Amino acid sequence: MRTAARTVFLAGMALALAGCASLGPKPWEKDLMARHEMLVDPYPLQTAAEDHVYFSKEASSGGRGFAGGGCGCN
């Protein structure tokens, strides 16, 4: 079941990548994407602090980045 889910996921990624070719704005339409708040992670210290809190209090970690906390907080 898990293997099947992985296969479907990877196939989905490949299809998504192929489909991406026709997606997206032209270079002169990227004014909004150039704004600081549109970065994937515009406030990395804030993200790290929140991930640290949740890593210490919950069983799940990773997804946005690596799993684990690099500390003995959990």
Partner 1 sequence: MQLKKRRRGNVRKSLARISAGLLAAALPPLAGQAAAQSYYDDASGTRNNNFGPGFTYSQLDAALLVYQEAGGRVGAIEPTANLSMHAADGRQLSIGGVADSVSGATPNGAVPSNLPQNFVTPIKAQGSSASVTSASGGSTIIKLPPTPGQLATAALGRQYTVPANTLPMDKGFHDHRAALNGAWAQPLGGITEIGVGAGYSRESDYQSITANTHLSQNFNANNTTMSLSLNSEFDSSFPFGGIPTPLSVMNAQWKTQSTRDKTQLGFVLGLTQVMTRSWLTQFNYAFDQQSGYQNDPYRIVSVVDPASGVPTQSLYENRPQSRQSNSFYWDNKLDLGPTVTDLSLRYFTDSWGIKSVTADLAERLNLGSAFYVEPSARYYHQSAANFFHSYLVGGQALPAYATSDSRLGSFTGTTFGAKLGWIVSKRSEFYVKGEYYAQSGNSHPAGAIGQLKQQDLFPKTSAAIAFIGYSWDFH
Residues binding partner 1 (CB under 8 A): 2, 9, 13, 16-17, 20-21, 23-27, 29-38, 40, 43-46, 48-50, 52-54, 57-74
- Of 4 and 45, the one with the shorter C-beta distance to partner 1 is 45
Cβ pair 48, 54 in contact under 8 A: no
Q: How far is the CB of 19 from partner 1 (least distance, A)?
A: 9
Distance separating alpha carbons of residues 33 and 45, to the nearest angstrom = 21
Structural contact between residues 42 and 36, judged by C-beta atoms closer than 8 angstroms? yes
Q: Provide the minimum distance between the beta carbon of 11 and partner 1 in the complex, in angstroms, as a whole number.
A: 12
